[in-house]
Amino acid sequence: MTEMIRKHKKLLAYMLVLAVFTTYVVMDTFVITRVYGEASGEGTETAMQAENNNDTSGNEQDSSSEDVESSHSHGSGGKHGGGPDHGGRHGKPKSDSGTSSDSSGSSSSSSSDSGISSADTAGSYSDDNISVSLSEYTVNGTVVHAAEVKADPGYLKTAFAQGSYGRNVTATTSDIADSVSAILAINGDYYGAQEKGYVIRNGQLYRSTAVSGREDLVIYKDGSFEIINESEVTAEQLIEKGAVQTLSFGPALVENGTVSVDENDEVGRAMASNPRTAIGVKADGTYIFVVSDGRTDDSEGLSLMQLAEFMQSLGAETAYNLDGGGSSTMVFKGSVVNTPTGGGIGNGSGSERKVSDIVYIGY
């Protein structure tokens, strides 16, 4: 009897240790904040070293345990778009002159065989350096918000939540946008949920550990976009070529004006119809920011194929899929313009999910 009691005590102790360890792993992955460096780029080498020292697994993590859209999936083919010395298709756009404006303007129209209805102009902004035109479309029963931006490349920026680079450091898209006085902002790639993969932001290299086969969007100093495969080029080489941003979610939607996904492509375990976020560029240098609503009674959501076709219909030469699902948020002049579902599937209340980063237009 004494021996049986001793065995039971050992078993209980083992189960307790296992439960504590499992709880710590879950907390460390999704909750515990680890700040590695500041967004200003100061201490970047220290940030990279800390990140690599804490990198214990090559497995990718979901940006949210509640939302399967945030499970990353990337193509394996190292496809290239138009970066410097690669047939770049995006030179410096011509700046629009004018004063700040809130006028709605007149409606613009667009139609195609893929179910895209006419667009209603939803707002605009213009000053001496930046021009933004926001439109709302209906695409396959889905409300889609698209902003076309004319601005020199220096006004296309990224920002970290709480102004800090790290793991599980998050804030809502609108809060991050407010912290940098963004004119227009969309959620980024949720880099903070990942252990590996390139992170270059505003010209600073924060993480250089490659993920085999991962397909990234690189934005260069001259404003050109390129789709790269991390297996084929190092982060340091990208910096040498003039990279100022890398975004790592994927896949690429449009390359050289051609849709680069098909009906079978989907992100991780995501459902076919989802809220989506994408960024693209036209041949004349116009940037395109797109967020689609989804998972509500009023807006079904888009598949990757539908999103790619929409970006192509707007004239995108290169377009890339960012973090979607409950993360998908667009902020224009301080207001959230779409209906985020950060509170979960079926929640149309407009509640934002906290994310790691944003892509924005601003000073």
The answer to whether the beta carbons of residues 62 and 95 sit under 8 Å apart is: no
Taking residue 301's Cβ as centre, other Cβ atoms within 10 Å add up to: 27
The residues with which 255 forms a beta bridge, in sequence order, are 258
Q: Burial of 237 by CB count in 10 Å (0-12 exposed, 13-18 middle, 19+ buried)?
A: exposed
Rg (CA), the chain: 21
Distance from the Cα of residue 62 to its chain's centroid: 14
Look at residue 341 and tell me if it is in a domain: yes
The answer to whether the beta carbons of residues 78 and 228 sit under 8 Å apart is: yes
Per-residue pLDDT tens digits of the chain, which is 363 residues long: 666 666 666 666 666 656 544 554 444 544 555 566 544 333 344 344 444 433 433 333 333 333 444 444 433 333 333 333 333 333 333 333 333 334 333 334 444 455 777 677 779 999 999 999 999 999 999 999 999 999 999 999 999 999 999 998 999 999 999 999 999 999 999 999 999 999 999 999 999 999 999 999 999 999 999 999 999 999 999 999 999 999 999 999 999 999 999 877 765 545 578 999 999 999 999 999 999 999 888 899 999 999 999 999 999 999 999 999 999 999 999 999 999 998 654 444 568 999 999 999 999
Look at residue 198 and tell me if it is in a domain: yes
Please state, in angstroms and rounded to a whole number, the distance separating the CA atoms of residues 340 and 143: 12
Look at residue 117 and tell me if it is in a domain: yes
Backbone angles phi, psi at 116, to 5 degrees: -95, 120
Domain carrying residue 171? 33-361
- Cα–Cα distances in Å, from 114 out to 27, 141, 277, 340? 44, 11, 19, 24
Threshold 0.85, pTM exceeds: no
Look at residue 75 and tell me if it is in a domain: yes
Look at residue 323 and tell me if it is in a domain: yes
Look at residue 56 and tell me if it is in a domain: yes
Tell me how long the chain is.
363
Please state, in angstroms and rounded to a whole number, the distance separating the CA atoms of residues 103 and 101: 6
Look at residue 275 and tell me if it is in a domain: yes
Counting the structural domains of the chain, the total is 1
- Helix, strand or coil for residue 318? strand
